[in-house]
Amino acid sequence: MYQYDKYDQQMVDTRVAEFRDQVERRLAGELTEDQFKPLRLMNGLYLQLHAYMLRVAIPYGTLNSKQMRMLGHIARKYDRDYGHFTTRQNIQYNWIKLEDAPDILADLASVEMHAIQTSGNCIRNISSDQYAGAAADEIADPRPWAEILRQWSSFHPEFSYLPRKFKIAVIASDDDRAAMRLHDIGIQLVHKDGELGAKFYVGGGMGRTPMIAPEIRDFVPADELISYAEACLRVYNRYGRRDNKYKARIKILVHELGKEEYTRQVEEEFAHMKTLGLNPPVEELARITQYFADPAFDTGASDDLDLSDPDFKLWVDQNTVAHKQPGYAIATISLKPKGGIPGDASSAQIDLMADLAEQYSFDEMRVTHSQNIVLPHVKKSDLYALWQKLDEADLAPANLHLITDSIACPGLDYCSLANARSIPLAQKISERFADLGRQRELGELKLKISGCINACGHHHAGHIGILGVDRKGTENYQLLLGGSAAEDTSLAKITGPGFDEDGVIDAIETVTDLYLKERQEDERFIDTYRRVGMAAFKEAIYG
Amino acid sequence: MKILTGNDLKTGDVTWWTGSDWSRHVEDAVDVGENFEAILHEEEAARRVNVPYAIEAEMTEDGPRPAHIKDRVRALGPTVRPDLTLKPADPEAGNWVI
C-alpha cells in the first residue's frame, strides 16, 4: 500500500482547511450557490435527489483495513449507516449534511484519503485491475504506475480545467478486468524485447456516445509513460470541444480527427516535450514501488483445500481465482445478495470486511468496478473460516460473474440525472434468477443496468445491458445485447422497442432461454450471441 | 398547480414551500400559481433553501402529487429503502411514486 509522504498529507490537510472555510462562507451567505457549487464539486460533494452526496476517492480501488473502518465510521456517524461502492472503484454516501462535510474530509485525511477530483473536468481517480499485485497472469504490478499517475494528475495545473472529465485505467495482463478500453486513456503494461513499457489506447468511453478506444501506440518505454500520457492530454486540452458539453470528451476528438491524425499530433507533442528536459515523476518510481512489495507470504502454504462442504465448494469455485503465490487465492466478496442493492454495504459489513482483510489478507482490500470487494491475498487454508464469517454477514453470495452479479447505477432512487430506477430491476432480476444452479447453468453473464444515458451502470458493456429511459413520464427500459468490458471489448446493441419493468425481466428470461437452446459446448452467453447474431434474439423477444 | 421545492441549505433535505415556510412533507405544499419568482429569490437569498424551483403537481385527496416521477421520488425517498423514506411504516408508499 502506498503511504502519504509529508507533501501528500500537507496537500490534503490544506485542502480540508480551505474547504472548511468555503463551507462556513456559504453557510454565512458570503458565497452564493453559483459561486460555491464548483468549489464543493472539487471536493466530491454533489447535490443529489435527497441530500448532498459525497464521493470519496479510493485510489485504484485499493484500501487497507484502517481506511475501510473509516468508511464505516463515516457511514455510521454522518450518513444513514451504509455506503455505496461504485463502478469507478469509489464509495458514495447519499445523505451527507453540508455542515458535516469538512469534518468528514478531515476524518478521511486522517487515514490518507480524500474526495478531491471525484468530480469536475479533471483527471479522475485512476482505476486499475482489482487483482493487481496478486494475479497469476500479470506481467508486472500495475499499482506503482497507477500511483505515479495519481500523483502526476493530482492538482496538475494544466489539467484542472479540461474540456470534460477524464478517466485513466492501467492494467498489466491480457485479461482486462478494468474495462480499460472504455476509458479516455487505457494503459496496458507490456514487455517488448525484455523491456517494460505500455500500450496506449485513447478515446474510449461510455455515456451517450460509447466508443472503444483504439490503440495509438503499441509500446511506450516505461520511463516515458508519464510524458506520453501528458502529450495525449495536451492535444486533448488544446483541441477538445469546449463549445459543446456533449462533444467534449476525448473520444469525440479522436473520432473527429481520426486516430491517425490524433496520434500524429500526440507524437509531435511527445517529441517536443522530450526536448524540454522535463523530469517526469517517473523518477519517483523506485520510492513508490517499495510500498507495493509483496507481503510476507508463507512460502510453505499448501494448495490443499477441503471442499467437503458443498456450499463452500460453490463459493470457492465461483468467487476465488488463482493467485501468483502457491498456497494463496484471491477471494471476491460479492455485494449482490438476493434482492439486495448492488454495491451497498452497511457500516457493520464494512467493519467486518476490514476485520477480515486484517486477519486474512495482509490488511488489503480492493473495490472492483463491478461493485464488489476483493481480498487479494488469502491463504487457502484460511478460506473456509473466511467464508463462514462472510456467510454469517450475508456477504457470501457465490455469484461472481453470474447473472445476479449485476452492475447497477443508483438510478432514479438517488440520482438527479437519472430518468428511471435501476436498482429495483437488479433486485427483481436477482430474485427471478435466484436459483444458483440455474445461474451456474447460464455461466458467465454480465448484466449491467443504467438509469440514464450517462451509462454509470455500464449498460453498453453488458452481455445483457438495460438502459432506463423516460417515456412520456413513465419508466421504460431498453434491452441491449452483445457488450463486453473485457479484453474482447464490444458495445451492446439495442434489441428494439423498450419494456416496462416486468417486461424487460421477461425479455431477459427469453434471451437466456434462447442462449441455453442455441449454446454449443462451452460457449458463454456472449459467445453464442456473437455466433448466432441479434436477429435470432430479436425474433425470440418480439416475434 | 405549481408548487415550490428545493433542498435545505445545511442538511440537503428535500423541502416544500408551505406559503410561509419550508416543510419536509409534500402534503404541506401550496399552489403558488405563476407568481413564484419573487418567493424563490427571497427564500434563497435568506438561505432558508438551496436552489429552489417550481414544479407541476396535481391536487389529490392526499394532497399535492408532483407530476414527474423524479419529484415524487424526492418527496418520498428512495423506493428501494422504505426504511429511509418519510413513510417507513407504510409498505405501500412506493406505489404512490409509480
Same domain, A84 and A190: no
Same domain, A281 and A361: no
Are residues A473 and B11, on separate chains, in Cβ contact within 8 Å?
Answer: no
pLDDT, residue A87, reads 96
Domain count, chain B: 1
Give mean pLDDT, residues B2-25.
97
Residue B47 lies inside a defined structural domain of this protein: yes
A489-516 pLDDT, tens digit each: 999 999 999 999 999 999 999 999 999 9
Same domain, A87 and A38: yes
A451 with A415: CB under 8 angstroms?
yes
Same domain, A368 and A270: no
B11-20 pLDDT, tens digit each: 999 999 999 9
Distance CA A213, CA A216 (A): 9
Residue A399 lies inside a defined structural domain of this protein: no
Q: What is the CATH number of the domain that holds A22?
A: 3.90.480.20
Same domain, A28 and A90: yes
pLDDT, residue A274, reads 87
Residue A305 lies inside a defined structural domain of this protein: no
Percent of chain A with pLDDT over 90: 97
A379-413 pLDDT, tens digit each: 999 999 999 999 999 999 999 999 999 999 999 99
Residue A534 lies inside a defined structural domain of this protein: yes
Residue partners of A455: CB distance under 8 A and separation at least 6: A206, A207, A208, A210, A467
Are residues B9 and A98, on separate chains, in Cβ contact within 8 Å?
Answer: yes
pLDDT, residue A277, reads 75
Give mean pLDDT, residues A299-305.
97
Same domain, A501 and A524: yes
pLDDT at A280 over 70: no
Name the DSSP letter for residue B45: H
A421 with A411: CB under 8 angstroms?
yes
Residue in A with minimal Cα distance to B80 = A424
Residue B58 lies inside a defined structural domain of this protein: yes
A427-439: string of b/e by CB count within 10 Å (b at 16+)?
Answer: bebbebbeebeeb
Q: Following CA atoms B40, B46, B47, B52 in sequence, which dihedral angle do they give, to the nearest 10 degrees? A: 0
Q: How high is the mean pLDDT of chain A? A: 97
Residue A512 lies inside a defined structural domain of this protein: yes
pLDDT, residue A79, reads 98
Residue A520 lies inside a defined structural domain of this protein: yes
> In which band, very low, low, confident or very high, does the pLDDT at A286 lie, cut at 50, 70 and 90?
confident
Percent of chain A with pLDDT over 70: 100
Residue A114 lies inside a defined structural domain of this protein: no
> In which band, very low, low, confident or very high, does the pLDDT at A47 lie, cut at 50, 70 and 90?
very high
Give mean pLDDT, residues B44-63.
94
Q: Is B72 on the interface with A (CB under 8 A)?
A: no
Q: Residues of chain A whose C-beta is under 8 A from some C-beta in B?
A: 26-27, 29, 33, 47, 49-52, 80, 94-99, 341, 412-414, 416, 418, 421, 423-424, 427, 470, 473-475
Percent of chain B with pLDDT over 70: 100
Domain count, chain A: 4
Helix-strand-coil split of chain A, %, nearest 5: 40, 20, 40
Give mean pLDDT, residues A151-158.
95
Residue B71 lies inside a defined structural domain of this protein: yes
Distance CA A418, CA A257 (A): 31
A536 with A514: CB under 8 angstroms?
yes
Distance CA A294, CA A59 (A): 18
Q: What is the CATH number of the domain that holds A420?
A: 3.30.413.10
Residues forming beta bridges with residue B6, ordered by sequence position: B15
Give mean pLDDT, residues A297-316.
98
Residue A122 lies inside a defined structural domain of this protein: no
Measured between beta carbons, the chain B residues lying within 8 angstroms of A97 are 10-12
**Domain of residue B15, residue span:** 2-78
Of the residues A412, A422, A431, A501, the best mutation for testing chain B's interface (the one with the most B CB atoms within 10 Å of its CB) is A412
Same domain, A378 and A515: no
Of the residues B73, B74, B76, B85, the best mutation for testing chain A's interface (the one with the most A CB atoms within 10 Å of its CB) is B73
Residue B45 lies inside a defined structural domain of this protein: yes
Distance CA A221, CA A447 (A): 37
**Domain of residue A461, residue span:** 407-542
Distance from CA of B10 to the nearest CA of A (A): 5
Same domain, A369 and A448: no
Same domain, A142 and A251: yes
Same domain, A314 and A283: no
Residue in B with minimal Cα distance to A418 = B70
DSSP 3-state of B98: coil
Measured between beta carbons, the chain B residues lying within 8 angstroms of A94 are 78
pLDDT, residue A275, reads 87
Residue A1: CB atoms within 10 Å: 18
CA quadruple B37, B39, B44, B49: dihedral positive or negative? negative
Same domain, A388 and A411: no
Is the pTM above the cut of 0.90? yes
**A133 φ, ψ to 5°?**
80, -5
Distance CA B4, CA A95 (A): 22
pLDDT, residue A279, reads 67
Same domain, A231 and A335: no
Least confident of A185-194, A215-224, A282-291, A440-449: A282-291
Domain boundary among A56, A74, A109: A109
Give mean pLDDT, residues A319-335.
98
Helix-strand-coil split of chain B, %, nearest 5: 30, 30, 45
Q: Is B59 on the interface with A (CB under 8 A)?
A: no
Q: Is B13 on the interface with A (CB under 8 A)?
A: yes
Residue in B with minimal Cα distance to A32 = B45
pLDDT at A278 over 80: no
Residue A294 lies inside a defined structural domain of this protein: no
